[in-house]
Amino acid sequence: MENRIPLIGETFPDMEVKTTHGTMNLPKDFAGKWFILFSHPADFTPVCTTEFVAFQNRYPEFRKLNCELIGLSIDQVYSHIKWHDWILENLKVDIEFPIIADNGDISKSLGFIHPGKGTNTVRAVFIIDDTAKIRAIVYYPQELGRNFDELLRMVRAMQIADKEHVAMPANWPNNELIGDKVIVPPASDIKSAKYKQSRYDNYDWWFCYRDLKNKE
């Protein structure tokens, strides 16, 4: 079997993981849901603490999108539990999503460990959809905390793109050219090009755009 990390568009590999919520099977235990698997370098570190608080504060918004969260680091489950308790006691934030205790095998298989950064994981993000397909992979260096509003935007945008069969412009829903409108897939022949250009707002036949069908 080829030894490489999974790619966008592939099915997330089956794995049994030990977490703060007990043993789980991925992606099976999130069947029918989107989920974000994210790694952090270590428990009891300042940047990671700010990230967990940020994720938890947005957890209700992710759940509205049928999206669950699950963290991971190369720490024992006891460390995760103590860190969870520290955050609750000192910051008054209850981390409700599970955290995977990894011995390094999962991180290596998913490419979470940078060879030049020791044995700690980088800040990796896998976004998996409700069919268990990997939709996005994002890596951050250890020294840079993630933008969790962007991860929320990514999930929302991909779900809309799937539902309405469109593409999403840069910085959606605040694009500099078309605002919160979405991009119509380009035509593949002359007839459909003329039709789309007559039907939709456009800059040209290959750049047509429209309003969302169902705005929230």
Residues assigned a catalytic role: 48
Concatenate the DSSP letters of all residues of 103-143 into one string. Answer: -SHHHHHHT-B-TTSTTSB-EEEEEE-TTSBEEEEEEE-TT
* Distance (Å, whole) CA 148 – CA 146: 6
Q: What tokens appear for 105 in the block?
A: 């095998």
Q: Which residues contact 89 (CB under 8 A, 6 or more apart)?
A: none
Do residues 125 and 117 make contact, with C-beta atoms less than 8 angstroms apart? no
Largest Cα–Cα separation, the chain: 65
